[in-house]
Amino acid sequence: MPRESKKARKERAAEVFRILHEEYPDAHCELDHEDPFQLSVATILSAQTTDVRVNMVTPELFRRYPDAPALAEAEQEDVEEIVRSTGFFRNKARNIIGFADALVSEYGGDIPRNLKELHALPGVGRKTANVILGNAFDINEGVVVDTHVKRLSRLLGFTREKTPEKVERDLMPIFPQESWTLLSHLLIWHGRRVCDARKPACERCAVSHLCPSSRV
């Protein structure tokens, strides 16, 4: 494929976004939650596992610990038992209790609305902070780069990078800031439904004609 100019890449990116938005008009975060606190905890639990798995444990977790003050007072062993099936359950239990405790002691139980303060909380990396800001508060501070977003961005030729931070850095200039949260949802939905990691269904892909990695 000939070297693509920055202008051509932005135009292709806009067309990919437009088509995927038509394909998935209801694309959204698939972690079940009712408020910013629940979303934050679910996102921390989602590391190295699926949204489906997290959604299996959070109903009981939030029934017993419905808010930050309640979770901050939880016994770690009790939380570990609830979240065990999500993997790395000891670290995750410690993180979500620490997260809740920090919310109570530093923010009166409320979720901060900026990247720097969120990032400083236990269990919250840049990806988690972007998920919270974008989905709880409609604040587009960055692009959420999970395994699907990284893989599809590389296949689509939007980046050659391998780390989430560098992939995000490549995506941000070619998509409008107001679209960053939705962009992640669209790529994740497409990755889960069509562009499978083991066997991408290029023949069913609505953007195959715009993808330099297409097999059709």
Mean pLDDT along residues 110-125: 96
152 close to 195: Cβ distance less than 8 angstroms: yes
Question: Is pLDDT of 1 > 60?
Answer: no
Nearest to 84 by CA among 127, 43, 53, 41: 53
Domain boundaries, the chain: 6-28+143-210, 36-137
The catalytic position among 146, 150, 166, 199 is 146
SS3 letters across 174-207: CCCHHHHHHHHHHHHHHHHHCECCCCECHHHCCC
Class of 36-137 in CATH: mainly alpha
pLDDT of 2: 67
Active-site residue, 146 included: yes
Average pLDDT over residues 92-99: 98
Q: Any idea which of 2-11, 62-71, 80-89 has the lowest mean pLDDT?
A: 2-11
Range 54-58 average pLDDT: 98
Is 127 one of the annotated active-site residues of the chain? yes
Dihedrals φ, ψ of 195, to 5°?
-90, 70
**Secondary structure of residue 70 in the 3-state scheme:** helix
Cite the DSSP H helix spans in the chain.
Answer: 6-23, 36-45, 51-64, 68-72, 76-83, 89-107, 115-119, 126-137, 147-155, 164-171, 180-193
User: How far is the C-alpha of 211 from the C-alpha of 201, rounded, in Å?
Assistant: 13
For residue 81, give Cα distances in angstroms to 32, 90, 91, 186: 20, 9, 12, 34
Residue tagged active-site, from 127, 138, 166, 199: 127
- Which CATH fold topology does 6-28+143-210 show? Endonuclease Iii, domain 2 (1.10.1670)
Distance CA 80, CA 159 (A): 38
pLDDT category at 109 given cuts 50, 70, 90 is very high
100-114 mean pLDDT: 97
pLDDT at 185: 98
Q: Looking at residues 107-131, what average pLDDT do you find?
A: 96
Q: What are phi and psi of 200, to 5 degrees?
A: -65, 135
Q: Is the distance from CB of 194 to CB of 200 less than 8 angstroms?
A: yes
pLDDT beyond 80 at 160: yes
pTM strictly above 0.75? yes
- Reply yes or no on whether the pLDDT at 3 is more than 90: no
Whether the domain at 6-28+143-210 and the domain at 36-137 fall into the same CATH topology: no
Whole-number percent of the chain with pLDDT over 70? 99
For position 153, what pLDDT does the model report? 98
Measured torsion, CA atoms of residues 81, 82, 88, 92, in degrees rounded to the nearest 10: -110
AA letter at 151 = R
Which two structure tokens, joined as six digits, stand for 216? 């059709």
